[in-house]
């Protein structure tokens, strides 16, 4: 039997929690479109994101290690899929809108520059005095302006609720339409879930990649409560596990503990707050999707550990620093010779300005494309910075 959109919307009203964001209550899109006969608003959003060019490029963008330095290391795409999976799990457990939480998760990193956070920092520096660069804001630019798939409008024309969820770390949020409600302090619960799922994923999996790449040792992890709690639990049940098998299962248990903690703690906060609608959620002064206090402190210690021992590790930092030097070179050359941008991109200079156009163009590049573009543009000046040699800086030498 075919299920219609209206039947799905009715199912949400009857089944989801009262404070869930219902598809049928969406504030709509900037450009009006007729509703789909079989898909809800957030199902359509999810499909538009997955089919976008920006989403496909995430496969070749750095998470922590320069893309191409290891077959099993996370990329920005695998990270995004993991965030979407955890978002659905938490949303389902709390009776919230899984499709909305997943759509936000799938789009949350579309605006990341090549070379991860190092590339973002470099672009922000290069854009000083021209509006700066921040990947959350860039994700919005991509879905609202840069993607070109529809003849009647720029961008993907996503629903207001998905775009709301991409505005992370905001002090105040704007209402969906002029003349609507006043600015408010919290996004939907589904947006809050995607935000915490992002943290759960990148802390745990960056730890996993650091162990796999032998930049972090189990001995170093003994100081971390997050690691010790799950490590002791695994050893109690599986005393014969050793090496990679042990470490992989500990990481799995860390993630499971974090997800369970968020579900239990958030349920308590939701009950105490007594919110009865998505609008009441938005009027809350603080998020209602949270860790327990004990796990929050443990995660803060994990974050500090990762910055000290992984993100600034010489084998990570050296490759990223070299790559970011190439990013600067290409940026500055595009400013001098805008004709290198290509006809389609160059058309946006008059409207967006040269700096922003160059920034948009470069931030959309994959790691490999940026390296190849530099090699093409500076072939006679810097043969030592070829793609294979730069990737070798971050590669692990395997003997097996």
- How remote is the C-alpha of 253 from its chain's centroid? 22
Residue 275 has pLDDT above 80, yes or no: yes
Section 293-299 average pLDDT: 96
pLDDT at residue 382 tops 80: no
Q: Over the stretch 51-67, which tens digit does the pLDDT of each residue have?
A: 999 999 999 887 776 55
Is the pLDDT at 181 greater than 70? The verdict is no
Distance, CA of 347 to chain centre: 29
Please state, in angstroms and rounded to a whole number, the distance separating the CA atoms of residues 189 and 82: 19
Q: List all residues 6 or more positions away from 389 whose beta carbon is below 8 Å from its beta carbon.
A: none
Q: Is the pLDDT of residue 182 over 60?
A: yes
Alpha carbons within 13 angstroms on the beta-carbon side of residue 34 total 3
Residue 392: pLDDT band with limits 50, 70, 90: low
CA separation, residue 229 to residues 203, 226, 253, 280 (Å): 16, 6, 9, 36
Helix 116-126 to helix 314-336 angle, to the nearest 10 degrees? 40
Lowest-pLDDT range of 59-73, 146-160, 168-182, 377-391: 377-391
Percent of the chain with pLDDT over 70: 91
- Please give the domain boundaries of the chain with CATH numbers for all domains: 5-108+148-311 (1.10.3210.10)
């Amino acid at each position: 039997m075919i299920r219609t959109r209206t039947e799905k919307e009715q199912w949400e009203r009857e089944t989801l929690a009262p404070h869930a964001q219902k598809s049928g209550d969406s504030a709509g899109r900037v450009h009006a479109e007729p509703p789909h006969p079989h898909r809800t608003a957030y199902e359509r959003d999810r499909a538009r994101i997955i089919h976008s060019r920006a989403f496909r490029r995430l496969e070749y963008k750095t998470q922590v290690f320069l893309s191409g330095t290891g077959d099993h290391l996370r990329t920005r795409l695998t990270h995004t899929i993991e965030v979407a999976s955890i978002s659905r799990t938490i949303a389902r457990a709390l009776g919230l809108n899984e499709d909305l939480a997943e759509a936000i998760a799938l789009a949350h990193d579309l605006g990341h520059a090549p070379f991860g956070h190092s590339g973002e920092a470099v672009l922000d520096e290069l854009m000083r005095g021209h509006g700066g660069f921040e990947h959350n804001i860039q994700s919005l630019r991509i879905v609202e302006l840069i993607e070109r798939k529809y003849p009647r409008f720029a961008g993907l024309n996503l629903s207001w609720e998905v775009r709301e969820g991409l505005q992370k770390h905001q002090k105040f949020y704007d209402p969906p339409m002029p003349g609507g409600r006043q600015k408010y302090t919290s996004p939907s619960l589904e947006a809050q879930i995607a935000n915490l799922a992002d943290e759960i994923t990148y802390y745990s999996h960056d730890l996993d990649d650091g162990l796999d790449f032998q930049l972090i040792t189990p001995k170093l992890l003994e100081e971390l409560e997050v690691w010790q709690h799950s490590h002791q639990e695994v050893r109690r049940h599986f005393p014969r596990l050793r090496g990679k098998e042990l470490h992989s299962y500990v990481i799995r248990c860390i993630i499971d503990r974090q997800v369970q903690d968020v579900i239990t703690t958030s349920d308590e906060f939701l009950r105490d707050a007594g919110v009865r609608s998505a609008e009441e959620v938005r009027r809350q002064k603080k998020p209602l999707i949270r860790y327990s206090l004990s796990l929050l402190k443990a995660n803060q210690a994990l974050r500090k550990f990762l910055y000290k021992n992984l993100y600034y590790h010489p084998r990570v930092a050296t490759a990223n620093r070299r790559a970011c030097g190439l990013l600067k070179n290409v940026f500055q050359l595009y400013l001098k010779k805008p004709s290198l941008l290509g006809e389609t991109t160059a058309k946006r200079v008059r409207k967006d300005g040269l700096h922003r156009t160059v920034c948009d163009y470069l931030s959309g590049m994959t790691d490999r494309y940026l390296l190849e573009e530099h090699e093409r543009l500076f072939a006679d000046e810097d043969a030592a910075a070829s793609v294979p040699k730069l990737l070798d800086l971050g590669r692990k030498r395997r003997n097996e």
